[in-house]
Amino acid sequence: MAASADGFRVIAEHRCFDGVQGFYEHASAACDAPMRFSVYRPPTAVADPGTHLPALYYLAGLTCNEETFAIKAGAQRVAAELGLLLVAPDTSPRVRLPGDDAHWDFGLGAGFYVDATRAPWSAHYRMYTWITDELPRVVAAHFPVRNDARGIFGHSMGGHGALVCALRHPDRYRSASAFAPIAAPMESPWGRKAFSGYLGDYRDAWAAYDASRLVEQRRFPSPIRIDQGSADEFLAEQLYPERFVEAARRSGTEVQLHRHDGYGHGYWFVQSFVAEHLQHHHRLLLG
């Protein structure tokens, strides 16, 4: 299909639980590059395109892309039942820059949901603006969404991104949750590597993208759900969910931390509890 005036084009669409799982691209001004994302439209949206539904944004983790959640999480069955539209963006621009694939945890597939200020990344790696501002406008222009009922969640690096986006924009997101988030990235090797590479050495700039620093200073108006596996190989060194919980107490933000014995970090964990996350958002978005 040819691209529309805003650069939007359909890459592929597939029937799924009587809805449609689609993959799309648009010309991003924020990232100065073509950016890809996926959307699942539940049966109600397919049967009556005039029915506007809550939109739930999912941010994926390191090395993932716009296909990962759609293929691995098994969320479509529950979204079809609840009437939720699911949006899953890519995890970085795909413009090639020097050294962008030198490390698996920085560059391609590892945009960390920040607006980079350090060259050469600042030319394209403006993931925060794309996620919170530009992409919702593109989605609203092409899909039947309710702009007053938007939620956000994510996994690992995407859990970090979801918490930051929600805390900085409670006017745009009515609900938030995360699977095994990098909850205190200024204390995490992954976070310090990404922040120094994208933002430089100015730690005040880092704090604007640290969920634990943010939640300490501002109260999110609805409960935040976090799920964490006890056998997660990155828990001790990278994630620090307890720091987020303690910081949230200081602002009066309710955090529902669910610990699960024996679960690791990957999508076996995510798919085991994705239904609970969709139900959490459904209650808050329609309550």
Closest CA to 162 of 82, 108, 218, 88: 88
26 in catalytic set: no
On whether the CB atoms of residues 259 and 224 are closer than 8 A, the answer is no
Segment holding 138, helix H or strand E: helix 135-142
156 in catalytic set: yes
Q: How far apart are CA 172 and CA 3, in angstroms?
A: 28
Structural tokens at position 191: 């976070």
DSSP string, 28-91: ETTTTEEEEEEEEEPHHHHH-TT--EEEEEEE--TT--TTHHHHHS--HHHHHHHT-EEEEE-S
Structural tokens at position 240: 């620090």
What is the identity of the amino acid at 123?
A
On whether the CB atoms of residues 226 and 255 are closer than 8 A, the answer is yes
Q: How far apart are CA 228 and CA 269, in angstroms?
A: 9
Residues in Cβ contact with 165 at an 8 Å cutoff, skipping those fewer than 6 apart: 59, 113, 128, 131, 132, 152, 172, 173
Given the residues 38, 156, 177, 188, the one annotated as active site? 156
Q: How far apart are CA 256 and CA 243, in angstroms?
A: 13
232 in catalytic set: yes
Compute and round to an integer the Cα radius of gyration of the chain.
18
On whether the CB atoms of residues 256 and 225 are closer than 8 A, the answer is yes
Given the residues 232, 280, 281, 282, the one annotated as active site? 232
What is the identity of the amino acid at 30?
A
Given the residues 265, 280, 281, 282, the one annotated as active site? 265
Closest CA to 131 of 89, 185, 178: 89
Tell me which residues are annotated as active site. Answer: 156, 232, 265
